[in-house]
Amino acid sequence: MAYETINVTEMSPACGAIIEGIDLSQDLTNRQFDEIHEALLDRTVIVFRDQDLTPDQQVAFARRFGEPQPAAVSGFEKSKDNPEIDILEYDVENPPHVTRDLWHTDFAGTERPTMGTVLYAKDIPPRGGDTVRVNMAAAYEALSDRMRAHLEGLEAYHDSNQPYGVHVRPEMYEADKGTDHLLEERKHYIPALHPVIRTHPVTGKKGLFVNESMTAFIKDMDRRESDFLLRYLFDYLRTPEFQYRHKWKTNDLAVWDNRLSLHYALFDYTDHRLMHRIVIQGAVPHA
């Protein structure tokens, strides 16, 4: 599709684009939305600069992509008026290293991982707090034929308690943090089983679908084989050529396709950083 209503600047060969020429506070025409959607599929992550949106307007835009996940259990505080919005807020009192980000795919530890995420930068520190994203289809395509054949048909367990578990983040489980619901969830939680090579439901492209944060082990493999293979993949997925690192400005709005991507939020700042996040419901991944 040739873009007629938006201006798309590609940010790295693997992924990322800055989109200009559009005001997301307005109702979008179908043509405008189709072009935005096309850019998202093509670039994995797209960022709109200088957006001035109310929470309702952010929700309305997010809804063009699908239904927001209801009451997503995330440990993040919810916006009072718009429960679809997670408030990600850090500063010197509540520094981001407390959450120790790792490479991850949103909600991969659930049966239906998030389809996409709409993240609005309300306040960005003068330096630090970039986000890196990885195109997992590009990573898959760069594997050798032999490695692709080896991975074909494998499935892996994704465990949300790995990054959010009491062993890793005890501070999240202090009663006064209001995270009792996380403890309650843990009691009933079963790790999700997903294909290691996932086919994107819209583009038909294949990509890797493992992440360092949550992917715990590969089914039907000896523990040592699984650890060895996953360690290799996690290391491989750090290859800079598969990435786009976004340096945020206040009023940027990013959308990423969570179906074949990883991201990592740097925690190299203590100045105030405030993001409003909406996650869109996804489907069961298939091979």
Measure the CA–CA gap between 136 and 133, rounded to whole angstroms: 9
> Which CB atom, from 24 or from 218, has the smaller least distance to ligand OGA?
24
Measure the CA–CA gap between 264 and 230, rounded to whole angstroms: 18
Instruction: Identify what 259 binds: Mn ion, ligand OGA, none; CB under 5 to 8 Å per kind.
Output: none
- Shortest distance, position 45 Cβ to ligand OGA, whole Å: 11
> Which CB atom, from 88 or from 134, has the smaller least distance to ligand OGA?
88
- Shortest distance, position 253 Cβ to ligand OGA, whole Å: 12
> Which CB atom, from 131 or from 211, has the smaller least distance to ligand OGA?
131
106: annotated active-site residue: yes
277: annotated active-site residue: yes
User: Which is nearest to 166 in space by CA: 157, 156, 153, 177?
Assistant: 177
123: annotated active-site residue: no
Closest residue to Mn ion, judged by C-beta, is: 106
Query: Are the CB atoms for 191 and 216 separated by under 8 Å?
Result: yes
Q: What does 42-87 look like in DSSP terms, one character per residue?
A: HHSEEEE-S----HHHHHHHHHTT-PBPTT---SSEEPSS-TT-EE
The dihedrals phi and psi of 149, each to the nearest 5 degrees, come to -65, -40
Q: Among residues 37, 43, 86, 106, which one is catalytic?
A: 106
Measure the CA–CA gap between 86 and 82, rounded to whole angstroms: 9
Under rule CB under 6 A, residue 46 binds ligand OGA? no
188: annotated active-site residue: no
> Which CB atom, from 36 or from 262, has the smaller least distance to Mn ion?
262
Under rule CB under 6 A, residue 261 binds ligand OGA? no
Quick one: which of 6, 14, 72, 88 contacts ligand OGA (CB under 6 A)? Answer: 88
- Shortest distance, position 79 Cβ to ligand OGA, whole Å: 14
Measure the CA–CA gap between 83 and 98, rounded to whole angstroms: 24
Output DSSP code: residue 247.
-
272's tokens: 């105030």
Q: Among residues 158, 198, 246, 277, which one is catalytic?
A: 277
* Cβ count within 10 A of residue 213: 22
- Shortest distance, position 221 Cβ to ligand OGA, whole Å: 29
Q: Distances in Å between the alpha carbon of 51 and those of 17, 43, 56, 76, 150?
A: 16, 20, 13, 23, 45
Under rule CB under 6 A, residue 47 binds ligand OGA? no
Under rule CB under 6 A, residue 44 binds ligand OGA? no
> Which CB atom, from 31 or from 112, has the smaller least distance to Mn ion?
112
Under rule CB under 6 A, residue 58 binds ligand OGA? no
Under rule CB under 6 A, residue 215 binds ligand OGA? no
Interaction residues for ligand OGA, span 92-151 (CB under 6 A): 106, 117, 119, 131
Our CA dihedral for 111, 261, 198, 208, rounded to 10 degrees, sits at -120
Under rule CB under 6 A, residue 206 binds ligand OGA? no
By annotation, the residues acting in catalysis are 104, 106, 263, 277
Enumerate binding residues for ligand OGA (CB under 6 A): 88, 106, 117, 119, 131, 263, 265, 275, 277
